[in-house]
Structure 1
Amino acid sequence: MEFRCIEECSQCCIEREYFPSKKFGKIGVLILPDEKKKIEKLAQEKNLDIKILPRIGISNKKESSPEKILAYQMMGIEKNGNTCPFLDTESGNKSPHNGFPCKIYNDRPMACRTYPLIESDPITLDEKCKFCKEHKTADENLNSEIESLLKIKEQMYTDSPFIWRFATEIGEEQDSDLFESGWFLEE
């Protein structure tokens, strides 16, 4: 079955999730280091405020903080971390599937180009995607998503012994007492 966005859906651009647990807060859209400046420039051109935080870092020593950042994350515009700042929710314009359009669709981050694929072994479809929930399968029209996912995996590969994850301290207000902030060594 060929993947396509469900009519009027923009869920993947709105909802963010806690990962790997609530302690870390909600994650933003993965931004590779070579995409960061381009995304910041696009936001400036569109007069948008964006918040980009670190996401994954690496080091050769357990006692230090990350020496290199492998990935950043662009947080949503809502206080709880939801809603991509590039999602056009105000103009009344619609995407081809009648959802909210992306203001930078042709320049969107690699992670957005990968969706609804999830990096796992084997690669799976995101169960939160409305199309994937409804149809349970998609085996056509995912070539560009697979290519994007492979590019991300290639840039995220490391032989550094220590991987760090950044806690955003962003999420639902009722969960705020669980949040941490800053870098944490993955165990």
Structure 2
Amino acid sequence: MEFRCIDECSQCCIEREYYPSKKFGKIGVLILPEEKKRIETLAIKNNLEIKILPRIGMSENKNTLPTKILAYQLMGAEKNGNTCPFLDKDSGDKSPHGGFPCKIYNQRPLACTAYPLIETEPITLDQKCKFCKEHGNADGNLHAETEALLKIKEKMIPDAQVIWRYATNVGEIEDQKVLESGWILEQ
């Protein structure tokens, strides 16, 4: 079965989830350090304000905050963390599958290229994706997605022992009491 977006779906660009738990807040699109400047430049070219936060860092010991960032995250444009700022909801244009188009589709981050593959052991399809829910598999054309995911995994191999995750303090109004902000030591 060949993967393709479901007609009129832009769900993966709109909905953000809490990860790894609600206290960490909603996560943004994973941005590798070498992608960060390019994404910031694309935002300027598109006259967009974006927010990029750290996502995963590492340090030599538990008493020192991260000294190296392994990944950043592009936060959603809405106060609750949803909707990629590069998703064009206002122009009236539609993507080839009838959803909202991406303003930077040909220059999107590797994480967007890898979707709907998610990094688990073994690698699986995201079951929140409407196509994956409907069809269950997409064996025919996931070559570019697999290649992008493998590039991300290659960059995420830390050379330090202590890994930190950044809590975004972003989420729904009713979750504000449990959200944290800043670096949290990964256990």
Give the SS at the match of 2:92.
Answer: coil
Correspondence for 1:161: 161
State the TM-score, normalizing by the size of structure 2: 0.99
Give the SS at the match of 1:166.
Answer: strand
Q: Letter of the aligned partner of 2:15 in structure 1?
A: E
Residues 99-118 of structure 1 show CA distances to partners (whole Å, capped at 9, x for unaligned) of: 00000000000000000000
State the TM-score, normalizing by the size of structure 1: 0.99
User: What is the CA-CA distance between 1:138 and the residue it aligns to?
Assistant: 1.1
Q: Letter of the aligned partner of 1:8 in structure 2?
A: E
Written as runs of structure 1 = structure 2, the 5 A alignment for 1:167-178 is 167-178=167-178
Q: Give the ranges of 4+ consecutive aligned residues of structure 1 lying more than 3 Å apart after TM superposition.
A: none
Distance 1:129 1:87 in 2: 17
Correspondence for 1:184: 184
Correspondence for 1:148: 148
| Structure 2: tracts of 5 or more residues without a match | none
Correspondence for 1:114: 114
Aligned length: 187
Correspondence for 2:27: 27
Correspondence for 2:4: 4
Residues 59-85 of structure 1 show CA distances to partners (whole Å, capped at 9, x for unaligned) of: 111100001000000000000000000
Q: Letter of the aligned partner of 1:46 in structure 2?
A: N
User: What is the CA-CA distance between 1:137 and the residue it aligns to?
Assistant: 1.0
Residues 148-174 of structure 1 show CA distances to partners (whole Å, capped at 9, x for unaligned) of: 000000011113110000000000000
Q: Percent identity?
A: 72
Are 2:99 and 1:99 aligned? yes
Give the SS at the match of 2:177.
Answer: helix
